[in-house]
Amino acid sequence: MSSKSLLAEMRQVQLAIDLIELGARLQVLETETDLSRARLIRLFKEIRGMSPPKGMLPFSTDWFITWMPNIHSSLFYNTFLRLQKDQGCERMEAFISAYRLYAEQVEIDGAETVLGLTRAWTLIRFFESDLLQLSACTRCAGHFVAHAHSPTHDYVCGICQPPSRAGKTRKRQQSVADRKPAKASPLPLDHRMA
C-alpha cells in the first residue's frame, strides 16, 4: 500500500471516528466514508461500546420547519455555510466543525441540543437536493430554514413571531412548577379556630 493511499485511509478512519463520537448513525458513515460496512460496525462498537442502532433515517423536511427545530437548524446551517464560504472548509470538515460549534453554543446557553448529528446531516442533504432553502426574515434579516420555493417576500421567522405555545415544553413546565412555592394545605376542620 502506498503512503498516499495509507494517508487517505487514515483520513477516512478519522472521519468515521469523529462522526461516531458525535452520534452518527451507520447510514451516515456508509455514505460519507469509503470504509466497508464491517469495518464501520467494528469501529462503532469499539467507540460506543454497542452495536449501531437500526432503523430508518429521518426523511421529512417538515421537522426542520417547526418552531424550535427551525431555530436550531438555522443556527447550525448558517454556521456550516460560513465555515465553507469564509473559512474555505471542505464539506465534511465544515459539517463536523459546525456541529461541534452548534453543540458548544447550546451548552453555553444551558439549552437542550434539539438537532442531533443525523438530523444535521439530513438537513445538509435536503439543501443539496434543493428541498430546503434559507429565507430572510423581513423583521430581523436573519436567515432561516424554509421549504424550497416557498414565497419569501413577507417571511417572518419563529423568533420574531413565535407560535402561541412556544417554549411551553413539558420539561420547561415542570421546571416552572418546581420553582413555585407549594400552597399551604388547609387545616382539618377540628383544628380551625372558631
Determine if residue 89 is labeled as part of a ligand binding site: no
CA distances from 172 to 42, 72, 126, 135, 163 (A): 39, 17, 31, 29, 16
Cα–Cα distance between 144 and 86 in angstroms, integer? 19
Nearest to 102 by CA among 121, 86, 85: 121
Cα–Cα distance between 175 and 180 in angstroms, integer? 9
Cα–Cα distance between 18 and 29 in angstroms, integer? 10
CA triplet 96, 100, 103: central angle to 5 degrees? 140
Burial class (CB in 10 A: 0-12, 13-18, 19+), 53: exposed
Residue stretches of the annotated binding site: 137, 140, 157, 160
Q: Which residues are annotated as a binding site for Zn(2+)?
A: 137, 140, 157, 160
